[in-house]
A = this chain, B = another copy of it.
Amino acid sequence: VKLARLGEAKIIAEITRGVAEHPDVPVGIGDDCAAVRGVARGMLELLKVDGVVEGIHFDPQTDLRRVGWKAVCRPISDIAAMGGLPKYALLTVAVPAEMDLSQLKALSTGIRRACARHGVTLVGGETSRSPGPLFISVTLTGFVERARCVTRSGGSPGDLLYVTGRLGGSLKGWHLDFAPRVKEARWLTEHFTVKAMTDLSDGLAADLPRLAAASECGFTLQREAIPRNRDCSVEDALSNGEDYELLFAIDSRTAKKMERAWRKRFPRLPLVCIGLLEAKGHGLQHISGRGYDHFA
């Protein structure tokens, strides 16, 4: 069945299938807005929006279950990078009228799985026809204890820089199936003072200078230390992007203790020191290789 024949109400019903009532959501899907209880005292609310576009973030042939998963997990990765937990999602979906119901079902399945896995409740959305590609935008709210909120800007000269996992080669498939590092980031901020953090979405070559600049620091990068995925060059690890790993800065005096505790808690996920923050104007000014720029 083509969506053009299905009508808007049935499309929305398909996307919102299985969304249950939630005690913190007095007004959920189906009214003009969602109305939700605010974050608890002592918490900051996190807000993030992120879009994926057919032909840009995924190929037209891609299994839409994976696209739905990716669309939700991208902003979850950002919430993780602030040290927070995701809570509510809202969707904007613009779909070509010639799209088939089975494809919509696949997309919804991926969205639903990603929400369920991460404790996210879908509370609203909007559907429209697209005269061009499939377009999905996901808004996420989340929350974080004030004292555990980590920005990009809290680093200082001398802090050591760590990355989780392995970098590069995401386009071989990983970018559609990745697990955002929520529990790893929560564990880090529970036990240690993480001074600055970001998730690697545009590639280390773009994201590291951005974190350093936000912290008003320079940096030194040990290129050969960068943990790489199989068959990836250092250049790939720097520039491919969409790694969705964490990059963070931590005081050098607590770094060793943190490393030991990490290996106990996450024995299968590498954590590697790739360099350090320096005084502004010192260290590397540019990385050979560059991150992903949508317009470059």
Contact = CB atoms under 8 A, between A and B. Distances in A.
A45 B123 CA distance: 12
Nearest to A44: B35
A4 interface: yes
Contact of A38 (B45, B92, B135): B45
A144 B142 CA distance: 19
Contacts of A55: 131-132
A149 interface: yes
A209 B149 CA distance: 45
Contacts of A139: 47, 49, 90, 139
Nearest to A5: B295
Given A144-B35, A295-B8, A149 B27 contact: yes
Please indicate which of the listed interface residues A27, A36, A295 has the most CB atoms of chain B within 10 Å of its own CB. Answer: A295
A221 interface: no
A30 interface: yes
Interface stretch (A80-88, A233-241, A249-257): A80-88
Interface residues of A, number: 78
Contact of A129 (B56, B124, B144): B56
Interface in A124-149: 124-133, 135, 137, 139, 141-144, 149
A226 to B, nearest CB: 21
Given A152-B31, A153-B31, A131 B48 contact: no
A91 interface: yes
Given A128-B56, A294-B8, A149 B49 contact: no
A199 interface: yes
Q: How many copies of this chain?
A: 2
A124 B45 contact: no
A118 interface: no
Given A8-B295, A8-B296, A45 B35 contact: yes
A240 to B, nearest CB: 17
A44 B49 contact: no
A52 B198 CA distance: 30
A37 to B, nearest CB: 7
A153 to B, nearest CB: 7
Nearest to A78: B32
A293 interface: yes
3 tightest A-B CB contacts, nearest first = A132-B132, A38-B39, A51-B92
26 contacts: A8-B293, A11-B295, A27-B44, A30-B214, A31-B153, A32-B82, A32-B198, A33-B47, A35-B45, A35-B47, A38-B39, A38-B40, A38-B44, A49-B91, A49-B92, A51-B94, A51-B137, A53-B94, A53-B130, A53-B135, A92-B137, A126-B137, A127-B294, A130-B135, A137-B137, A141-B141
Given A32-B197, A33-B47, 4 more contacts: A38-B39, A53-B131, A135-B135, A137-B137
